[in-house]
Amino acid sequence: MSSLTVQDLTKSFTATAPVLTGVDLHVPSGSFTALLGPSGCGKTTLLRLIAGFDDPDSGTVALGDRVVAGAGRSVAARRRGIGFVPQEGGLFPHLTVAGNISFGLPRRQRREGGRVRELLALVGLDAELADRAPHQLSGGQQQRVALARALAPEPSLVLLDEPFSSLDAALREETRLAVSQALRATGATAVLVTHDQAEALSMADQVAVLRGGRLVQLTDPRTLYRRPGDLDVATFVGEAVVLDADLRDGLAHCALGALPYEQASTGAVPDGRARVLLRPEQLRLSAPDPGAPIARVRSVDFYGHDSRVWLDLPDGGTVSARLDGADLPRAGDDVAISVRGTALAFPAGHGAALPAPAPLG
């Protein structure tokens, strides 16, 4: 196992549109890092540069203290010792499960089945699957075999390129769990590319948010959710309630009343106009009460385990609240809103215009 250090990496495929513009990333040895970003942000390109399938224009990639790309060096992909799990598994269709898993093993080890059984057990698959062809496996099983194949030669680093995006919801959860367990059992350093924030937050030790070819935040999942670096990151990693506010006397005065606030990590916001961030689960609803701001329920999305309530504020804005109670308001009800915890303050001009998503129906 070794750490991964990426420094000032740039890459462009056409002269006009660079894909990566100076990415720095450090992945400690044995840790699990998620590269999170919307499609087209360059995360897959970054993965391919780390794997050695493409060469960067400038910057360096180092495994431990061994530079594998940049600074005049380009170590071939096959000599980097980096395991790769592509989207949809990419199992070799002409080989059996055993043939796939043992592909990267030395010739001598390919013959004996012991290592294959060991790896199948590691990813939670039955040894009987060894002789199956890839097309006889479910999508989740294919992903696990792909991971077993990548882990077989004991790589110093494993890269996973959106491995769960093609699976349906139930299978995805189960496969994520199996993959997490296998990675922790081997103590492998792993980098997972995903555009699914829930996947990144739930699986990784640290999350790197990529946007427009740039790394915008690298931190642990809790900090990322609670103290995002800017409002774009805030809305990308979860549902958000963003309101205009006036900061004075240590409180943020906004449509939901005067709230205690904290400064965003990007820098202190002076008193005056600002924007504040809340999460929908911080909002609490109660029967109308003259002391609290009143809102009207526009609609309710009922999910079973919890619900989202869309609220029209008196100032014309719309916010959403996430409630787990059984005692839900109905559309048209007037409710009082209270806020738990603190808001996070950002400068007024900060972030693009972020209209609250419109409720469906």
Partner 1 sequence: MRLRRSPVTLALAAAVAALALLPLGYIAWYTADVGWSGIRELVLRPRVAELLWNTTRLVAGTVAVCAVVGVGAAWLIERSSLPGRRIWHVLLVAPLAVPAFVNSYAWISLLPGLDTYGGALLVVSLSYFPFVYLPIAAAFRGLDPALEETARGLGLSSWAVFLRVQLPQLRVALLGGSLLVALHLLAEFGALQMLRYPTFTTAIYDQYRATFNGPGATMLAGVLVLLCLVLLLAEIRLRGRRGYARTAKGAVRPVRPVALRGLTGPALAALAAVVALSLLVPLGSLGYWMAAGASTALDGAALVATTGTTLGLAAAAAVVTTGMALPTGWLAVRARGRVATLLERSTYLGSAVPGIVVALALVTLSIRVTPWLYQTVPVLLAAYAILFLPRAIVTVRAAVEQSPRVYDDVAASLGASAADRLRRITLPLLAPGIGAGAALVFLAVVTELTATLLLAPTGTTTLATAFWSASSALEYGAAAPYAVVMVLLSAPATVLLSRDARRGLTT
Binding region for partner 1 (CB under 8 A): 13, 48, 51-55, 76-84, 86-87, 90, 92-94, 103-104, 149-150, 152-153, 155
Q: Which is nearer to partner 1, 100 or 282 (CB)?
A: 100
Pairing type for strands 214-219 and 318-323 reads unpaired
Nearest distance, CB of residue 18 and partner 1, angstroms: 15
8 A C-beta contact, residue 8 and residue 22: yes
Which CB, 62 or 150, lies closer to partner 1?
Answer: 150
The whole-angstrom separation of Cα 73 and Cα 62 is 11
**Nearer Cβ to partner 1, position 77 or 171?**
77
Three-class secondary structure of residue 54 per DSSP: coil
Shortest CB 48 distance to partner 1, Å: 8
Q: State which residue, 155 or 329, has the beta carbon closest to partner 1.
A: 155
User: Could you tell me the smallest distance in angstroms from the CB atom of residue 186 to partner 1?
Assistant: 16
For the range 102-105, what are the long-range contacts, defined as Cβ-Cβ under 8 Å and sequence gap of 24 or more? Answer: 102/152, 103/149, 103/152, 104/149, 104/152, 104/153, 105/152, 105/153
**Other C-beta atoms lying within 10 Å of the C-beta of residue 63:** 24
Q: What is the DSSP string of 132-181?
A: S-GGGS-HHHHHHHHHHHHHTT--SEEEEESTTTTS-HHHHHHHHHHHHH
Nearest distance in Å: CB 90, partner 1: 4
Residue with tokens 């390919």: 110
Residues in the chain, overall count: 361
**Least Å distance between CB 158 and partner 1?**
10
Q: What is the CA radius of gyration of the chain?
A: 24
Measured torsion, CA atoms of residues 72, 74, 79, 81, in degrees rounded to the nearest 10 = 90
Task: Determine the Cα–Cα distance for residues 337 and 100; give it in Å rounded to an integer.
Answer: 57
Beta carbon nearer to partner 1, 153 or 351: 153
- Min separation Cβ 166 and partner 1, Å: 13
Question: Of 142 and 235, which CB lies nearer to partner 1 in the complex structure?
Answer: 142
> Which residue's CB is nearer to partner 1, number 55 or number 324?
55
- When the beta carbons of 78 and 305 are compared against partner 1, the nearer one is 78
We find the least distance from the C-beta atom of residue 146 to partner 1, in angstroms, to be: 8
Q: In whole angstroms, how close is the CB of 8 to partner 1 at the nearest point? A: 20
38: left (phi over 0), alpha (psi -120 to 50) or beta: beta
